[in-house]
């Protein structure tokens, strides 16, 4: 059984999905509005109350580090990259190259970009904190405008960089 709830945030509605083990997914409004809720999903505000409270505190500038049980689905490599994303502090950014260097695979930028794009729990696993090595914003599941808003919320202003840029 999976549990979901929809919360209203400054960047639009978010659908939160959890299992008994933890938070599995966050979907942006554009991603879930046309979604038909599967039969094995049950709306449960209580099961998702901690995630909701922490997300709303984040958006109110009252939380800089999430403390939630997570249950993302992904490959071993994807989970390795997502773990690196969780190490990026609030208010800081990294490039795909920075992450490649940390995992000692300096030629893996494209693979890291693909793993980043498959992150099922954006915001909490902060893939929005990853930019191109040229300092430009790159793809984001919620859209570049939302990525820019999240970075601005964290005190990072990259200027009027709201266009889509290539990853590399």
Asked if 18 contacts 1 with a C-beta cutoff of 8 angstroms, the reply is no
Sort strands 12-18 and 23-28 into parallel, antiparallel or unpaired: antiparallel
Alpha-carbon distance of 140 to 144, in angstroms, equals 6
Catalytic entry in 85, 127, 151, 167? 127
Active site residue 127: yes
Q: Which residue has the tokens 């995630």?
A: 51
Instruction: Report d(CA 163, CA 158) in Å as an integer.
Output: 12
Residues noted as catalytic? 127
């Amino acid at each position: 059984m999976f549990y979901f709830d929809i919360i209203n945030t400054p960047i639009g509605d978010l659908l939160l999905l959890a299992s008994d083990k933890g938070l599995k997914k966050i979907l942006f409004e554009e991603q879930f509005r046309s979604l038909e809720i599967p039969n094995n999903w049950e709306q449960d505000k209580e099961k998702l109350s901690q995630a909701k409270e922490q997300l709303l505190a984040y958006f109110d500038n009252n939380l800089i580090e999430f403390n939630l049980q997570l249950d993302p689905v992904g490959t071993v490599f994807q989970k390795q990259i997502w773990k690196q994303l969780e190490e990026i502090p609030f208010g800081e950014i990294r490039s795909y190259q920075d992450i490649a260097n940390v995992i000692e695979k300096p030629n893996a930028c494209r693979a890291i970009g693909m793993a980043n794009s498959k992150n099922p729990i954006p915001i909490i696993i902060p893939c929005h904190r990853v930019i191109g090595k040229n300092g430009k914003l790159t793809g984001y599941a919620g859209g570049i405008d939302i990525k820019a808003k999240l970075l601005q919320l964290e005190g990072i202003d990259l200027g009027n960089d709201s266009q889509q840029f290539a990853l590399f």
